[in-house]
Structure 1
Amino acid sequence: MPRNNSYSHPLPFPILIGDIGGTNARFSILIDVYAEPKEFPIIQTADFATIDEAIQAGVLDKTSVQPRAAILAIAGPIRGEEIPLTNCPWVVRPKAMIKGLGLEEILIVNDFEAQALAIASLTEEHREPIGNGNEGMTASKVVLGPGTGLGVAGLIHAEHTWIPVPGEGGHVDVGPRSERDRAIFPHLEPIEGRISAEQLLCGRGMVNIYQAICKADGKPQTFRDPAEISSAGLAGRDAAAAETLSLFSTYLGRVAGDLALIFMARGGVYLAGGISQKILPALRRPEFRAAFEDKAPHSAMLRAIPTYVVTHPMAALAGLASYARTPSRFGLGTEGRRWKG
């Protein structure tokens, strides 16, 4: 299989850009380096048996533009000729896709690599600052996104280049620190005997925290859905739901601060995903920044690092478009992930 190991060799325009998650798939087409991406309606992955059918019906049948290449961000590890998605039955088969959809090249990247590419150039219009921090520093960044799971990626700045670093940082261990934590943690649902960040900081994690609070206090569990918990907590209609949001913000701040230390992210820490946007009023309260900064002996350094909520509705697509326009700006490794017809 022909592969290209160059970071900066551009793909041919027009380029199909896709962000494929477990539930939704978002697509756009970038005509050339100067154009704004043409976006298409969001596709429900459950509506199509394969990704090829979804692209044909949801994109190609709705435009006269025939893409020559595709850059697809998927939620799952990228290995081999058949690439399954983690939370969706779709399997990406690049060779068959090139032939069936009339493409010349395909590049597959991790979904949080796309988020990292996006934060390299987010403007104030598409980010909401949380707390204090030094603005405008060109330095390494971190993005984490509580959603179906907890995605994490770094964005290292070196040699005038942005280098995305995907990983599985959502699965690091977390533990109790306060007396309230020690009362609640025995009631949290573990995964194979441990509490990972993702067991707390995602949709099901919010439910996990809420149920543990109710068990610790001997109270009935009124809610089963994270949207119900966040809504009731923000409105102050339920004490357990309100505490859930407070603890969710605290734990998110702790993990975000840890990641800021790991990557020395003086350029900022960015919270992506729908949950962060929905609970923005809770994140503006003191708990998130207090936990983020509580990193002795480096609390002073953390106080100087800005934190943001990403508000761009299509951040991953924007990140992929930035790469498609100027690949030389990014140190995105393509070996084993770029196929040619």
Structure 2
Amino acid sequence: MHHATENERLPFPILLGDIGGTNARFSILVDEEAEPVRFPNIMTADFPTIDEAIRKDVLEKTAIRLRSAILAVAGPIEGDEIDLTNCDWIVRPNALISDLGFEDVLVLNDFEAQALAVACLTADYRETIGPSGEPPVASRVVLGPGTGLGVAGLVHARGTWFPVPGEGGHVDIGPRSRRDFRIFPHLEPIEGRISAEQLLCGRGMVNIYRAVCAADGVLPSLNLPSEVTAAWQAGANAQAMETVSLFATYLGRLAGDMALVFMAKGGVYLAGGISQRIIPALKAPEFRAAFEDKAPHSQLMRHIPTFVVTHPLAALAGLGSYASTPEAYGISTQGRRWQR
């Protein structure tokens, strides 16, 4: 078996896959100049295995003979069987090689792919929240409230972008305002604590909504995150309105924390489906107020830009940029690359 050196390019044509908890998105890069060939989004629940999804959704629909795959997956990458956090799929790179004919498979964390995207996204794929202007080429952070809450840093050093994937969505989050102290007792701790992901993802939005209803002594009438955001958009439900406003506030607090950790002068980028759906709420004053409220560093925070990533397939764009120019990124492939 040949062991690749770091930053050695994978052979084209390359299958790019962004495998989230709910959706999987695929595209093919035929060579470094080509525009990616896109495939329709699929629901992970519709296929028993990722192998089956790739076979039916990609291989049977194209004559292109794929040589390698770069997959971004939601979950930690350990060993030869990679369990996805929020769905039943297991990625087995050796099986993709033996059964589907790939010769080279690289598996990255889904938020590493989002971080790669943030390094290469142009202004037309982002919506500015707060102070405008071109962000400096400096360390960045990407936060993505979606099925779960992903966080990654993007450190800029020696002319190279280094994605830093982690589990930042699982940090503690606590009450600050008087209203928070009314609401938080109605949240359900997991093993004694409230983590950011319990509030800042789809389920989290419903958790906030139920706690707001309990604090108000109202019976909850909405059950899905999409119902909460729809009621907020319609301006029809006081608890839903407050929920989305609190969601923006808590997201601002956490975004500010992460900006401090990474000294992210290049900005904080909000990815994930929820961010795009609640842009008007993020443009209201609460998000930036919470983001900047970091004494003794409020002055510093005022100058850090924040954006919503509006690219419909940001992770795939990031993977494509890496596939074409791996030398521009400091990505360690050790233990994450399998070859025939």
Q: Partner letter of residue 271 of structure 2?
A: A
Query: In the alignment, which residue of structure 2 is the partner of 1:255?
Result: 254
Matches within 5 A, 1:158-197: 158-197=157-196
Query: In the alignment, which residue of structure 2 is the partner of 1:244?
Result: 243
Query: In the alignment, which residue of structure 2 is the partner of 1:279?
Result: 278
8 A contact 1:5–1:333 mirrored in 2: no
Q: Partner letter of residue 115 of structure 1?
A: Q
State the secondary structure of the residue aligned to 1:89: coil
Give the Cα separation in 2 of the matches to 1:89 and 1:196.
23
8 A contact 1:142–1:152 mirrored in 2: yes
Shift of 1:234: 2.5
Q: Deviations over 1:209-249 (max 9, x none)?
A: 11111111111212111111111113221111111111110
Give the Cα separation in 1 of the matches to 2:132 and 2:295.
17
Residue 329 (structure 1) aligned with residue 324 (structure 2) = no
Residue 138 (structure 1) aligned with residue 142 (structure 2) = no
Ranges in structure 1 where 5+ consecutive residues have no aligned partner: none
What percent of counterpart residues are identical? Answer: 68
Shift of 1:43: 1.7
Give the aligned length: 340
Residue 211 (structure 1) aligned with residue 207 (structure 2) = no
8 A contact 2:135–2:267 mirrored in 1: no
Shift of 1:260: 0.2
Shift of 1:318: 0.3
Give the Cα separation in 1 of the matches to 2:46 and 2:200.
28
Residue 289 (structure 1) aligned with residue 296 (structure 2) = no
8 A contact 1:14–1:69 mirrored in 2: yes
Shift of 1:5: 4.5
8 A contact 2:119–2:161 mirrored in 1: yes
Q: Partner letter of residue 36 of structure 2?
A: P
Residue 97 (structure 1) aligned with residue 96 (structure 2) = yes
Query: In the alignment, which residue of structure 2 is the partner of 1:4?
Result: 4
State the secondary structure of the residue aligned to 2:15: strand
Structure 1 segments, 4+ long, off by >4 Å, are none
Query: In the alignment, which residue of structure 2 is the partner of 1:154?
Result: 153
State the secondary structure of the residue aligned to 1:33: coil
Q: Deviations over 1:242-280 (max 9, x none)?
A: 111111100000000000000000001000011000111
Matches within 5 A, 1:63-82: 63-82=62-81
Query: In the alignment, which residue of structure 2 is the partner of 1:20?
Result: 19
Give the Cα separation in 2 of the matches to 1:84 and 1:5.
26
Give the Cα separation in 1 of the matches to 2:97 and 2:168.
32
Q: Deviations over 1:312-331 (max 9, x none)?
A: 00000000000000000000
Shift of 1:36: 0.8
Give the Cα separation in 1 of the matches to 2:88 and 2:173.
30
Query: In the alignment, which residue of structure 1 is the partner of 2:47?
Result: 48
Query: In the alignment, which residue of structure 1 is the partner of 2:119?
Result: 120
8 A contact 2:11–2:67 mirrored in 1: yes
State the secondary structure of the residue aligned to 2:120: coil
Query: In the alignment, which residue of structure 2 is the partner of 1:309?
Result: 308
8 A contact 2:22–2:147 mirrored in 1: no
Q: Deviations over 1:83-133 (max 9, x none)?
A: 111122211111111121111100000000000000001111110000115
Give the Cα separation in 2 of the matches to 1:101 and 1:214.
50
Query: In the alignment, which residue of structure 1 is the partner of 2:128?
Result: 129
Ranges in structure 2 where 5+ consecutive residues have no aligned partner: none
Q: Partner letter of residue 33 of structure 1?
A: E
Query: Which 10-residue stretch deviates more, 80-89 or 101-110?
Result: 80-89
| Structure-2-length-normalised TM-score | 0.98
Shift of 1:51: 1.0
State the secondary structure of the residue aligned to 1:281: helix
Q: Deviations over 1:129-165 (max 9, x none)?
A: 0011553300000000011110000000000000000
Shift of 1:2: 4.6
Give the Cα separation in 2 of the matches to 1:145 and 1:305.
18
State the secondary structure of the residue aligned to 2:153: strand
Superposition RMSD in Å: 1.1
Give the Cα separation in 1 of the matches to 2:45 and 2:148.
19
State the secondary structure of the residue aligned to 1:120: helix
Q: Partner letter of residue 86 of structure 2?
A: N
Give the Cα separation in 2 of the matches to 1:292 and 1:171.
18
| Structure-1-length-normalised TM-score | 0.98
8 A contact 2:135–2:305 mirrored in 1: no
Give the Cα separation in 1 of the matches to 2:240 and 2:284.
15
